[in-house]
Structures are given as C-alpha cells and as structure tokens.
A = this chain, B = another copy of it.
C-alpha cells in the first residue's frame, strides 16, 4: 500500500522519506511508529489513533509551539529536528532539548506549554488534539504507560543536562553535546562518527549555556587536538571518541 512519495519541498530542502498514500491507514505505515509512543496501540486499533491525528509540515525557523500558550495540541515528530526552548523577558534563551523523529511533544500536562518549539530544519509532525488523544489514552492504558516511560527518560536526560549546566567546563559541555548528539541522531540509537549538526552554533550555545564564540573556539581547539574533523559548519567527524567521552564525563 505504501508508495515512495516524491520528496516534498520546503524552503528548498527535502523531506526524503516514504509515507503511505492511503489516507485510511496513515498510522499503519508510519515510519517512526516503532520509535514513538504510538507503538503502544495495537494494529487493529490504529484507525482510532489515525482519526485523532493530522499531519503538518513546518519550514525551517517556524515556531510551532509557543511557551505560555494554551496547550490544545500534542505533537509527535515524524521528521526533521526542532529546538525546545524557554526564553527570558530580555531575550536570553535556554534550549532545554532538541527533538527528532519519534519525539513526543507536549508532555507537560498543565494547561499551557512550558516551552516553545522551533524547527531548526524542515519538520513534519502528527498533531493530536488534546481531548481526542486523552480519550485514546483512556482506552489504551498501554499508551499511558508508554508516555510515563517517555517522561521518565526525559527526566533522566534533563538531570544530566542540569549536571552539565551547573558543573561542567566549556570543553566538557561541548564534548558531552557531541557524544550525546551522535548517540541520539545515530540510526536506531547507534552512535555514528560522522555527525550532522542541523542546528546553528547559536543553538548549540543556547543549549550548553555558553556563547557562540566559546562554542566555535572549543570546536577549533578539538580540531587542533585531532579529537574531531570539521567537514563543514554542519558536519563533524569524531576522531577520538574515547577522549571526548572521558572529557564529557569529567575524568
């Protein structure tokens, strides 16, 4: 049933992946279902899930969740990368995380979003209305369990980020980021040595509690120390994984 879809163009960039053309069974052929909370729903009930979902594409730069706004929708990322961030009145920004395909957004169960989300490369999401999804959750306790699991994993990540922001030096932060991003962006969680960085230096800085200049200088130092190779601004190769991991751990 699934067919190869011609790459849909968004701001000159492609979203090259396979999707179903059958509007009756979008979830059944979803590429990221296996990595997302949706795999808690049994095959025969997928229509129920699909009925609550709408696909949406966002170009690079689009803010699709705004901190403080009423949380009327949940999102499941199916392609691309988004930054999740909080902002202070004077413009200071903290990126609390990057979200890739399979990531569930909107876990904050409160009435308003706790953070904003902006596409750093073209993003595709499944959008669920909150009330509809809650009725699905009600009927499938396994989904709730999966959400709890997800929330706990995010908590662990958040705690590691707090350690990074509170106690690590600039080079330890950048090393931690490279290792961790190589892991999460690698296929199926397997870390790769060639690492694509879709976000800008400013985004990395806003995630690590540093400035653009410090991130740039640190990457340059890593390059001089032969720990990494900088292929171009948005791709690096990890040459000394063990060294970076030790630095990241603070040993």
Contact = CB atoms under 8 A, between A and B. Distances in A.
Contacts of A153: 109-110
Given A109-B149, A152-B107, A155-B107, A88 B144 contact: no
Please give the count of copies of this chain that the complex contains.
Answer: 2
B155 A108 contact: yes
A40 B108 CA distance: 19
A115 B154 CA distance: 14
Nearest to A152: B109
A36 to B, nearest CB: 17
Nearest to A165: B165
Nearest to A166: B209
A165 B164 CA distance: 9
Interface stretch (A90-98, A178-186, A217-225): A90-98
Interface residues of A, number: 43
Contacts of A162: 86, 94, 96, 158, 161-162, 165
A19 interface: no
A151 interface: yes
A155 B158 contact: yes
A88 B145 contact: no
A189 interface: no
Contacts of A197: none
A235 interface: no
Interface string A119-157: 000000000000000000000010011011101111110
B163 A250 contact: no
Closest 7 CB pairs of A and B: A166-B209, A165-B165, A158-B158, A151-B151, A88-B250, A94-B163, A94-B166
18 contacts: A88-B167, A88-B168, A89-B249, A89-B250, A92-B167, A92-B250, A93-B167, A94-B162, A96-B159, A108-B152, A110-B152, A114-B159, A141-B144, A144-B145, A147-B148, A154-B155, A155-B155, A166-B209
Given A110-B153, A151-B151, 18 more contacts: A88-B163, A89-B249, A89-B251, A90-B250, A90-B251, A92-B168, A94-B163, A94-B166, A96-B162, A107-B151, A109-B149, A109-B152, A114-B156, A141-B144, A151-B152, A161-B162, A165-B209, A166-B206
